[in-house]
Amino acid sequence: MPRYLSMVRIDENNAPAEGPSDELMQRMGELIEEMTKAGVMLDTAGLTPTSQGTRVRWEKGELTVTDGPFTESKEVVGGYAIIQAKDKAEAIEWTKRFLKIHEEHWTVTSEVREIAEG
């Protein structure tokens, strides 16, 4: 079965300062448990803020290293999931379920892409 990477994007500037609520974390845990039992969830995690990240760039034969935060970034990857599904449609359905558990004040986007094998 193909594997898919679901990159969860958030706008760090408009995300709740206190982070996810306890209720949201509980709903996430329940959905992740369901997906794991169904054999769909292979791995998932949230990421630390860009202020704690480092960007390494190769351009025109030169390497640059820049510590965060990255002011030019509006939407950043805040987490990911690696999903094993029968097809892209199924991976998208699981991703929709994940997005729908967020409260209305969240703006969350997920990009789903198949992982190239071989």
Specify the pLDDT at position 14: 80
Closest to 108 (Cα-Cα) out of 11, 5, 24: 11
Whole-structure pTM value: 0.86
DSSP string, 17-44: TT-S-HHHHHHHHHHHHHHHHTT-EEEE
> What is the C-alpha to C-alpha distance for residues 19 and 102, in angstroms, rounded to an integer?
12
Strands 62-67 and 54-59, by their bridges, are antiparallel
Average pLDDT over residues 5-11: 93
Look at residue 75 and tell me whether its pLDDT is greater than 90: no
Average pLDDT over residues 81-98: 97
Closest to 41 (Cα-Cα) out of 88, 81, 79: 81
- Residues facing 44 on adjacent strands: 81
Summarize pLDDT for 31-64 with one digit per residue, the tens: 999 999 999 999 999 998 888 999 999 999 999 9
